[in-house]
Amino acid sequence: MPVIETGAGVVHIFVDESADPDLAAEVVLNSKTQRVSVCNTLETLLVHRGAAPRLLSPVLDRLRAAGVTLHADEATRELYPDAVPATEEDWGTEYLSHDLSVAIVDDLDAAIDHIGRYSTKHTESILTNDLRSADRFLAEVDSAVVMVNASTRFTDGGEFGFGAEVGISTQKLHARGPMGLQELTSTKWIVRGSGQVRT
């Protein structure tokens, strides 16, 4: 019998090369620390290689000051040595704690590939000032909620205007019985922001 199961949240943010440093630091901090024990909390931060020298330290400094333990790949630790080495297991871990995986990726394609491999298809966000990158991310990332320039903490039934939340489904279960076109589709929420964080 098919059931709707509320899924785990291995949630990603990709900081694109064009991202604003202040927006990136604020959105990443909020996504990780506003409430660490819930499924829409950031678990993996991906940073564009071209942005890393400019954006990595300001973003990671804010996280460290908030008590976040950083599990980082080798490229990240070369630029930010105050992190522990990440393991393969870290990339698929829903920590639900003050822990965060961090990786530098070559470009948008590499970010989408990483998300496709490790995501639980819950929530992903891109921080960018490039409309083409934002549109590609929205179109190509297969998760229940995909965002631009907004905190992942907004993935919530109450925040989306449902009054309350039963859970967040990461599946694509359709109706049983006679079906029309609507029953052959599933929902993907798209959020476009300009640096919004959840309070």
Q: What is the pLDDT of residues 146-158, one digit of tens each?
A: 999 999 999 998 8
What is the C-alpha to C-alpha distance for residues 74 and 158, in angstroms, rounded to an integer? 39
Enumerate residues 6+ apart whose C-beta is below 8 A from 132: none
pTM over 0.75, yes/no? yes
Domain that holds residue 187: 11-167+182-196
Q: What is the pLDDT of residues 102-159, one digit of tens each?
A: 999 999 999 999 999 999 999 999 999 999 999 999 999 999 999 999 999 999 988 8
- The CATH number that applies at residue 19 is 3.40.309.10
Answer yes or no: are the C-beta atoms of 13 and 127 closer than 8 Å.
yes
Strand partners, 132: none
CB atoms near residue 21 (< 10 Å) = 16
Residues in Cβ contact with 159 at an 8 Å cutoff, skipping those fewer than 6 apart: 198
175 pLDDT more than 70: no
State yes or no: pLDDT of 60 exceeds 90: yes
Exposed e or buried b per residue across 128-148, where buried means at least 16 C-beta atoms within 10 angstroms of its C-beta? beeeebbebbbeebebbbbbb
Give the sign of the dihedral formed by CA 94, CA 98, CA 99, CA 104. Answer: positive
Examine the pLDDT at 176 and tell me if it is beyond 60: no
Q: Does residue 173 belong to any structural domain of this protein?
A: no
Q: Of 140, 174, 95, 59, nearest to 148 (Cα)?
A: 140
At residue 111's C-alpha, the angle toward residues 62 and 137, to 5°, is: 100
Please give the mean pLDDT across all residues of the chain.
Answer: 92
Q: Is residue 5 part of a domain?
A: no
Cα angle, residue 125 at apex, residues 182 and 32 outer, rounded to 5° = 125
With a pLDDT cut of 70, the percent of the chain lying above it is 91
Task: Say yes or no to pLDDT of 184 above 70.
Answer: no
Q: Which two tokens mark 20?
A: 């604003």
Is 159 a member of any domain?
Answer: yes
Domain membership of residue 123 (yes or no) is yes
In a domain, 2, yes or no: no
Q: Considering the domain boundaries, does residue 3 fall inside one? A: no
End-to-end alpha carbon distance in the chain: 39
Residue at 68 is within a domain: yes
- Angle value at C-alpha 194, between 95 and 137, nearest 5 degrees: 65
Nearest to 71 by CA among 50, 107, 95, 38: 95
CA distance 48 to 56: 9
Q: What is the C-alpha separation between 94 and 42, in angstroms, rounded?
A: 9
Number of structural domains found in the chain: 1
Q: Give domain status of residue 128, yes or no.
A: yes
